[in-house]
Amino acid sequence: MKNTCLTFILVLLAACKSNTPQKPPFDLQQVKQIISNNNKLYRIALLSGDSSAFADLHHSATINMPPGALTVKGQGPMGAMIEQMPANGVTDYKLTTTKVYGGPEDVIEEGKYELDTGNNKPMEKGKYIVIWKLYRSIWNTDPNK
């Protein structure tokens, strides 16, 4: 009798439809487009020296490890880092993404960068890796009951 009741309960549970909302499927192509759009916004903010706009593009817990400099932590310091770039002769900033991979929690972007001074000679060029943490915020209305 116990086995029959247990089997019945398991079948009943399996047949019940879950009301748990399903996460949307992960779409790496969509993430690549978001990264591309953000990189364009980084360029605009950096070239204009708009530290506030540049800072707003970063998470509050962001960490940047520039070569030959101290680690930069947080949005405010990220903005301050680029504030003087136009005054220091930076006339162009190029990011070239070479690879994007990952899954629903983290995406890795690899690429190359160039800082130019307008004399057809890069002031600095190198490579970078960005670890994008993906957070989702979804809201919608409940059905009328």
CATH assignment of the domain containing 98: 3.10.450.50
Could you give the number of structural domains in the chain? 1
Q: Which residue range forms the structural domain that includes residue 113?
A: 27-133
Domain contains 115: yes
Spell out the residues 6+ positions from residue 119 whose beta carbon is closer than 8 angstroms to its own: none
63-75 pLDDT tens trace: 888 888 888 898 8
Domain contains 46: yes
Local confidence band at 37 (pLDDT 50, 70, 90 cut-offs): very high
Asked whether residue 58 carries a pLDDT value surpassing 80, the answer given is yes
Question: How high is the mean pLDDT of the chain?
Answer: 80
Better-scored residue on pLDDT, 76 or 68: 76
pLDDT at 117: 87
Better-scored residue on pLDDT, 103 or 1: 103
Domain contains 57: yes
pTM exceeds 0.85, yes or no: no
Return the residue matching tokens 């690429």.
111
